Structure 1
Amino acid sequence: MTSHTPSLYSIATGSAEPIYRQLIEQTRRLVAARVLAPGDVLPSVREVALALAINPMTVSKAYNMMETEGLLSRSRGIGMLVAERRAHAHSAHEREALLRPTLERAAVEARQLELDPDAVLALFKKILKEQA
């Protein structure tokens, strides 16, 4: 069981996506990438709210939604934990589903810029290699 700090999260305040959704999506990605493992302790609502300068109710809403979804579980005296997940929870399909919205936004932007699809794919492949 590992305890994590609020630096786990970063918020894009100018984003059209609500802050609670950003927290949920970031947590899903961290679990899928195995940065957060079952049993890991998340930072408290108060810690996250202070670190990100956001309303504690926003963090609480995100945590409650993730608990309802089964991503997190509440443990008395400890706080919010990453829930035990099914074996297929970290499948390639789930990780692809998490990436899809980002790629859809990139595709919209590429179309708006009237870029050639082959050029966009070549650029994406180049970026993937740079980050490796």
Structure 2
Amino acid sequence: MNNWNETQPIFVQIRERLTDMILTASVKEGEALPSVRQIATDLSVNPLTVTKAYQSLVDLGVIEKRRGLGMFVAEGARKELLAHEREAFLKNEWPRIVKQIKALDLDFEELMRHADQ
């Protein structure tokens, strides 16, 4: 049974799992990713949901379809994903975090002390 975050579409959460697999090198560049059917079965979701997650990574250029073979991690995928995820973090999440840091009157040294815990 999966614990899906109800505030995000399931395909986005699957995409995040696939992204994590690439960023942590669980699946290396040039290697095959699990099939759509395998993921759909493992996660008990519709194969179209998994296909949508894969397509978003194809559109980003980090995975590639090989006809009759499946999905593979593209060369340079980790570097591309790092750049994309960093940009998304700085644009979408960082402003909210900075606002909260300021509201709580936290300073850099205090944040760094807690970062190591």
> How large is the RMSD of aligned CA atoms in angstroms?
3.6
Cα distance in 2, alignment partners of residues 12 and 119 from structure 1: 33
Q: Does the 8 Å contact 1:31/1:37 carry over to 2?
A: yes
For residue 18 of structure 1, the aligned residue among 9, 18, 29 is 9
Cα distance in 1, alignment partners of residues 115 and 89 from structure 2: 14
Cα distance in 2, alignment partners of residues 15 and 115 from structure 1: 31
Instruction: Please tell me whether residue 89 in structure 1 is matched to residue 86 in structure 2.
Output: no
Residue type of the partner of 1:82? V
Residue type of the partner of 2:79? A
Q: Name the CA shift for 1:98/1:47 in 2 (closer, same or farther; >3 Å).
A: farther
Query: Matched residue of 2:15: which SS?
Result: helix
Cα distance in 1, alignment partners of residues 27 and 12 from structure 2: 18
Q: Mark the runs of 5 or more structure 2 residues left unpaired by the alignment.
A: none
Same amino acid, percent of matched pairs: 26
Residue type of the partner of 1:124? A
Cα distance in 1, alignment partners of residues 59 and 23 from structure 2: 18
Residue type of the partner of 1:20? F
Q: Mark the runs of 5 or more structure 1 residues left unpaired by the alignment.
A: 1-9, 127-132
